[in-house]
Homo-oligomer: A and B are copies of this chain.
Amino acid sequence: MPANFLAALRREPSGGTPVWFMRQAGRYQAEYREIRAKHSLLEICALPDVCTEVTLLPVRQLGVDAAILFSDITVPLLAIGIDLRIEENVGPIIAEPFAGAKDLVRLRDLAPSEDEPFLEATVRQIVKELGPTPLIGFAGGPFTLASYLVEGGPSRQYLKVKGLMWQDPALFRRLLERLADLTFKHLAAQAAAGAAALQIFDSWVGSLTPHDFALHVLPVMQDLFARLRALGVPTIYFGVDTAGILPLMAKAGADALGVDWRIDLDAAWRLAGTRHAIQGNLDPALLLGPWSEVEGGVRRVLAAAGSRPGHIFNLGHGVLPKTSPEILRRVVDLVHEARAET
């Protein structure tokens, strides 16, 4: 019997520690690489049969306790007509970056059933094939989406998006609110089609000072999570480099916080407070190391979680392309066995 991921999200007894991995479907899998030889990443997202196959691969191969919709944070941006492409080994490249108030009109309302009709079809098909294993819906956070739109692509220092935030905070707020509405509708469609939980990947919010996060981003996230709460589906809020803003992220209103490996899980939990489940936080690089080290790392994460209900085992960021599927399978087994031992 698998550990109960949804119970853990509610901080209820879950029959042990549930485990899944961010980017658990991806280039580390030979089967995925074969599919990618035929389809681009964004094509896979828009083809229900192929997306279902990719989403289910890790569930069948690894025995994880949850599936996550195979997708990309740019999918809803594409759906409303933003011109972008995913460059291999780089990331999303925006043809015309967001440059001012005149560009707000390009962020029109998303109508999932018309703009991304594949989404509901895909989620329904995945949920049907998954059986009892829950599916996690997928979307990017407004700040992270804004960073791509304003920078025009991936960034190291986020100078342009921070510059907009400081030069014109009212416009920045309107941009985030437009993106939060996009995120909400994209996630609501997934929940309506059967997604049992929703994760917001706000990967780059950790580049902000606590003050800027609290002033410019947190109110938007609070509104977003309040709207999501009405869907009746538990939520996870994830970012990297967030050790300094965890107490603020805890005010956003998600049921669980995802944390990276740069902070001990118990320290993160103290900062997040007891009303949250915690997801994490093995260093994904460790999976490239010898098994003895991997095992030690997994056991340390479990020990840091202690016997508290509400721990969901995961990595601190996505699975790296050079990771061995066999190592991931052993990690799943170890997390499940450790449960049996306690």
Tell which of B162, B245, B267 touches A262, judged by Cβ atoms closer than 8 Å: B245
A151 vs B109: C-alpha distance when bound (angstroms): 45
Q: Which of A157, A208, A241, A262 has the most B CB atoms < 10 Å from its CB?
A: A262
Interface stretch among A77-85, A137-145, A284-292?
A: A284-292
Residues of B within 8 A of A166 (CB): 286, 289-290, 293
Q: Is A320 engaged at the interface, CB distance under 8 Å to the other chain?
A: yes
A245 vs B268: C-alpha distance when bound (angstroms): 12
Which A221-244 residues sit within 8 Å CB-CB of chain B? 241, 243-244
Say whether, besides A211-B300, A243-B244, A157 and B285 are in contact (CB < 8 Å). Answer: yes
Residues of B within 8 A of A297 (CB): 209, 211
> Chain A 207-221 against B: per-residue CB contact (8 Å), 1 yes, 0 no?
111111000000000
A290 vs B293: C-alpha distance when bound (angstroms): 48
Q: Is A159 engaged at the interface, CB distance under 8 Å to the other chain?
A: yes
A167 vs B292: C-alpha distance when bound (angstroms): 10
A207 vs B162: C-alpha distance when bound (angstroms): 23
Q: Which of A166, A244, A267, A322 has the most B CB atoms < 10 Å from its CB?
A: A244
A262 vs B210: C-alpha distance when bound (angstroms): 7
Which A104-131 residues sit within 8 Å CB-CB of chain B? none
A157 touches B289 (CB 8 A): no
Residues of B within 8 A of A210 (CB): 262-264, 267
A167 touches B209 (CB 8 A): no
Tell which of B262, B293, B320 touches A244, judged by Cβ atoms closer than 8 Å: B262
Q: Which of A210, A212, A245 has the most B CB atoms < 10 Å from its CB?
A: A210
> Which residues of A are interface residues toward B (Cβ below 8 A)?
157-159, 162-163, 166-167, 206-212, 241, 243-245, 261-264, 267, 283, 285-286, 288-290, 293, 297, 300, 320, 322
Extra A-B contacts (18), CB below 8 Å, given A162-B285, A210-B263, A212-B283: A157-B285, A157-B320, A159-B288, A159-B322, A162-B288, A163-B285, A163-B289, A166-B289, A166-B293, A209-B262, A209-B264, A209-B283, A209-B297, A241-B241, A243-B244, A244-B262, A244-B263, A244-B267
